A and B are shown apart, each in its own frame.
Chain A
Amino acid sequence: MNEKIKTLLFTIVVTAFFTFMVSGINSVLKERIDLNSKVARQKVILRLFGLITADKVISESDIPALFAAETETVKLGADSALECYQRKNSADQLFVFAFSGQGFWDNIFGFLAVDAQNQQIKGIEFTKHGETPGLGGRISEPDFKARFKDKPYANIRSDGLRLRLVAEGSATRSDEVDGITGATGTSSAIEKIVNSALAQFISLKQGGVSN
């Protein structure tokens, strides 16, 4: 009996000690980690605006300043919570807005860039997803993201969608996007997420822009 209690107490003390150590380190570095994830988001948005490209690399530490200097938040609709950005002092109708939705496994988060003038998608980036690596996880590959570029979203197809993800290699119409072979679940989840994100953006945009 005595032995058992000693074992139990030992386990509790050791567990408490290591938990305390880990949470201590976490709280010390939390600020830095939060800053990193903020910079990572800003980087994605700047990339969608074309301010960061493969040939125009910007160091991590300059990103917050560039972000503050070049972009501004846009409030679409009266009380919308949609996170949306525009270039500062720019006449073009390029918007970058956040989207999220249920993927095949986990929620998928990301940003869409659209040209509201010509009603075209300009780019898509995913900030967080839990899709199967090598299959659905390929959504974050440049090759897949490039498939959305310049796709028009103004018209609604007969199946009620603005964009349809079709079997890989079979997209022929401008309102079709190649899906990913072996990741049908992810492809249809992306289709749903992108369509609802576009619908939300359009309905808010029609309500008029107020800064």
Chain B
Amino acid sequence: MINRIIGWVDQRFPITAIIKHEATEYPVAPNLNYWWNFGSLAGVVLVLQIVTGIFLAMHYKADVTLAFDSIQHIMRSVNYGWLIRYIHATGASAFFAVIYIHISRTLYYGSYRGPRELLWWTGLLLLLLVMGAAFMGYLLPWGQMSFWGAQVITNLFGAIPLVGGHIVVLLRGDFSVGDPTLTRFFALHYLIPFIIAGAVVIHLVALHTVKSSNPSGLPIADKDNIPFHPYYTSKDLFGVGVFLIIFCSFVFFVPDAFIEPDNNIPANPMQTPPHIVPEWYFLPFYAILRSIPDKLLGVVGMGLGIVILAALPYLDRSKIPGGSRYRPIFKALFFVFIADAFVLGYVGAHPPEGPMVLIGRIATVIYFGYIVSMPFVSKWEESWLRKRGLPAPVQKYLDEQAAGGTK
């Protein structure tokens, strides 16, 4: 009976072929480590956010006079409303934690390198979309930090020459953040996740065309690949279990860890909090913004902080394959970059006074220095490694490449 139904569908829609192509016969390198779990984990968190978000939207009121109260209504009167809301609020932080680890893995193993440029770019696009969704979602509780965060960030667009003022009004729907801002942010916050879901499909199509990279630094021969299902489905599910233990520990025992105390005070346009801090996942970029003395250049720098990463496949000019496996300088600089991102995050959380200003500027220079110097460093590293003598597998790979090129 089941087979007959599947056969009926298959004649009209290639369901069996899709399952084979994307799962049961989709070839994956056998040596992926647990750092490769974070892509599917990001997908799990996206679903979690969409599902909890839809239930929150059933009880939330996007109106400046009602928004704050409606959150408390959800927390206190809706059945398990506290659970849904805490999952959603913690989920935002979990989403960024997972994505940042996913991106760090891409940088460490050089996964962005050809032929995976489009995979990398769709991934960066996804990061920007998630940031947009998170920023707009943060306004919805209509607390002090919601309001002033939105006020500060929308204000940045005013630095754009000529049209800046118009863009700010367009974003806010008014001259300052108010009811029109709240309603449009709510509408867009509901829309963007579905655009994200669509972009995830594109990201996956690109992935299944070029296949996953792997930690060996060398491409894996086709014959050595193993099917995604059941090997990586079982490995990913174990990863989901570990993730859920950590995630639920936050949701049930320290759910306020990611909620600023100030955001439990209703938004008050007449009273600026002494210290406006964005959520932790924006802090490094906020630090870059504040480290550049010129307002417009600061905004450009903040945007470039992400956009410039798109150029990495072309800036990394080393012929040595892969990422850190056979490239000690590349590896060392990766850790400098990650440490630098943490320093920027620390600076972003503190008022720009005293040593923070200088530390922020140095860290900003290092951040962009890592990227801009990559063409030179990667070339220099390659010639240095060649002089020292390449490991046999790398030499073999390069010889094969050279032979393939002359054929």
Partners in one complex: no
* Partner-A contacts on B (CB < 8 A): none
